[in-house]
Amino acid sequence: MTSRFAKSTLATAIGAATTLALAGLSLQAQAATEVSVGYAISSDSHYGAGSRAFKETLERLSDGEFTVTDHPSGSLGGERAMIEGLQIGTVDVVITSTGPLGNFVPETYVLDLPFLFTSYDQARCVLDGEIGQELLDKMGEHDLVGLAWAENGFRHITNSRRAIESPEDVRGLKIRTMENRIHQQAFEDLGASPTPMAMPELFTALQQGTVDGQENPLTVIVAANLYEVQDQLSLTGHVYSPAIVLGSPVLIDGLSDEQRVWFDEAARAAAEATRAEVSRLEEEGVAFLQEQGMTVTDNVDPAPFQSAIEEVNAEFVEQYGDDMLERIRNSDC
């Protein structure tokens, strides 16, 4: 027979063990830091692939110390709003185009110059090298943390009015652009009416005829279902559009050295995932869009477009100098 003293001791021991176990679970729960990742397009896009790669890598490397929550389709705001959120710490990580980035880090405007890059290999080589790292480091001067260069791809024009084979075909069209003055100036020089607009607003604007067309890489045209409201695609390839994985200094600056390595590796995994999806859609995207009913103009001569918007380069050089531009042009890539 168990004495009342023994029962009391056993109960006390069980109670203590339970308390310790619950305390351990509580501490473990407290130790898990939730990281938000925001982006402007759908979760089945190349950005979604990047976010999933970021999540898998960070959670695996940290052994659950960090958990990642996905916020697609502009649920945290447009790209400009999300970048502002990074600066004040209301957003942790953003995968974004460089469209609005020049408003925060003017040095990155160079990447938006038309016809700067001629191939994916060249663009990736530059961004993965010394020049790309210098530009990532510049983010720190503007309350941002540059983690890795990701990718959107070469940009093309869609519209709902006519096929575009030459600069004259662009004249008079109201074209949605990113909130980026380099892009806006280029389309002004082509005789269009550029209309800056956040990505979450674009589909409805096209559907309602607020704008005639827009310009984006195949990745975005497919992921945003723009073929449902646009029937003309012209493969102008007028700008190579990188993307970037940005972190909030409110979060990143508080990490240990080991934790920072985890975030850097997660960002690189995200970047590679976006590039892999871009490469896939460069192979498959045009055929898919044709199957959805789009008319594709693929015999576009870039030379007339280059001539029509060459003033954009001159204005950039006048304001920012030609050092970075010439370094990119003369790189070994």
Cα 72 to chain centroid, rounded:
11
Q: What is the DSSP string of 140-182?
A: GGGT-EEEEEEEEEEEEEEESS---SSGGGTTT-EEEE-S-HH
Q: How confident is the model at residue 25 (pLDDT cuts 50, 70, 90)?
A: very low
Q: Considering the entire predicted model, what is its pTM?
A: 0.86
Token match 């168990």: residue? Answer: 2
**Where exactly are the structural domains of the chain?**
32-329
Token match 């339970």: residue? Answer: 18
Name the token pair of 33: 């830091």
Residue 234 one-letter amino acid: S
- The pLDDT value recorded for residue 57 is 98
Residue 239 and residue 155 in contact, taking contact as beta carbons nearer than 8 Å: yes
CATH number for the domain running over 32-329: 3.40.190.170
pLDDT in tens, 219-263: 999 999 999 999 999 999 999 999 999 999 999 999 999 999 999
Give the residue-averaged pLDDT of 261-287.
96
On the question of pLDDT at 36 being above 50, the answer is yes
